[in-house]
């Protein structure tokens, strides 16, 4: 049963001079214990969407169900109680700079009436969980970005939430620190069963940690499903930008092409396909055998290995035979050997990042 269910959700902001449809008819659900990603470029509506999940933003229309409770029917005290069950982590940490690390983590506990000593004991356990027990008496200004985010995670977990909302929680961090934070979130999910929703603009984050993902573009969900399935068979133009072209959302409007401009024109005329290796297909020299079988040249335009939710997935973009009949037989040959095959001949930019 879904822990969160969104039905026909829309959000419109009306200003003095304009009306902005930030979200349009959003529908998705998040299963208990899932790590769910929401990805899109700046201005796509991701942060508005995550704030609608706990009614920090009130939707213009539609329904938000959390554990079968319609948030629009709850009183203010009931909403506050529900928000205690939904921890939140922000891009800019939002720590109290005048308080030390321990006091930052105890803050949500004390405002909900927990005895001071009990709050401190729990906060110390949480700091141990995030690997910062030795920094309990330090102040935020004395911490690195990664350490600040660990404190924010500990604080978000203080009230034992069943749901953790992460709004661009790693975008201000360097790649190594981002990896450490993602590993921590995966461990917390694995150890506690907490449901995590991650707002991000990075496909690397989605591939690394998420089980499911929704791709948001101009306030609408253009594709959603299991990360592995979308990686293997991207259907929407936005998903193909992310997966096939290797472009994160902040690159979507710059018009760059991923196929090197130096590729011979003849090569660009070939039928091109993207193949994904999984399971036993990675143990057979499929491409070499296909060349021998059809006595026809195959051009490897791009090859890479991506980590998808902890599993290495190999992918290639191939230029097949210029003879359409042979190219069709090559596609059938690849499919018969268990490879996922996507025809990308009609797209202008299918290389890799």
Task: Supply the pLDDT for residue 121.
Answer: 95
Residues 115, 34: Cα–Cα separation, whole Å: 32
Residues 335, 342: Cα–Cα separation, whole Å: 10
Mean pLDDT of the chain: 85
Task: Supply the pLDDT for residue 250.
Answer: 61
* Largest distance between two CA atoms of the chain: 77
What is the set of domains in the chain, with CATH numbers?
2-237 (3.40.50.300), 265-343 (3.30.70.260)
Q: At 96, list the tokens.
A: 């109290």
**Whether the predicted pLDDT of 319 surpasses 70:** yes
Task: Supply the pLDDT for residue 234.
Answer: 86
> Count of H helices and E strands in the chain?
12, 14
If you average pLDDT over residues 206-233, what whole number do you get? 91
**Whether the predicted pLDDT of 167 surpasses 60:** yes
Task: Supply the pLDDT for residue 245.
Answer: 67
Q: What is the pTM of this model?
A: 0.80
């Amino acid at each position: 049963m879904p822990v969160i269910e969104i039905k026909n959700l829309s959000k419109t902001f009306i200003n003095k001079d304009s009306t902005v449809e930030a979200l349009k008819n959003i529908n998705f659900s998040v299963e208990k214990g899932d790590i769910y990603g929401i990805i899109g470029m700046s201005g796509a509506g991701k942060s508005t969407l995550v704030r609608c999940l706990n009614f920090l933003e009130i939707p213009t229309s539609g329904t938000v169900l959390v554990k079968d409770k319609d948030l629009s029917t709850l009183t203010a005290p009931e909403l506050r109680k529900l928000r205690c069950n939904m921890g939140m982590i922000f891009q800019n940490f939002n720590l109290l700079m005048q308080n030390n690390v321990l006091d930052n983590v105890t803050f949500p506990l004390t405002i909900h009436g927990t005895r001071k000593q009990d709050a401190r004991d729990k906060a110390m356990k949480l700091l141990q969980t995030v690997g910062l027990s030795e920094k309990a008496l330090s102040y935020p200004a004395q911490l690195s970005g990664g350490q600040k985010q660990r404190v924010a995670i500990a604080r978000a977990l203080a009230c034992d939430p069943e749901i953790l909302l992460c709004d661009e929680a790693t975008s201000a961090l360097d790649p190594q620190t981002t990896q450490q934070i993602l590993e921590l979130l995966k461990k917390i999910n694995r150890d506690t069963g907490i449901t995590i929703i991650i707002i991000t603009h990075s496909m690397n984050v989605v591939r690394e940690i998420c089980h499911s993902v929704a791709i948001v573009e101009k306030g609408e969900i253009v594709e959603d499903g299991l990360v592995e399935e979308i990686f293997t068979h991207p259907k929407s133009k936005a998903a193909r930008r992310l997966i096939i072209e290797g472009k994160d959302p902040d690159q979507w409007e710059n018009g760059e092409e991923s196929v090197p401009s130096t590729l011979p024109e003849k090569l660009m005329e070939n039928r091109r396909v993207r193949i994904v290796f999984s399971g036993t297909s990675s143990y057979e020299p499929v491409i070499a055998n296909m060349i021998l079988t059809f006595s026809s040249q195959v051009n490897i335009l791009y090859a890479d290995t991506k980590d998808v939710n902890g599993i290495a997935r190999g992918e290639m973009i191939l230029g097949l035979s210029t003879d359409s009949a042979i190219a069709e037989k090559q596609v059938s040959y690849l499919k018969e050997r268990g490879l996922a095959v996507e025809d990308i001949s009609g797209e202008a930019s299918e290389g890799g990042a």
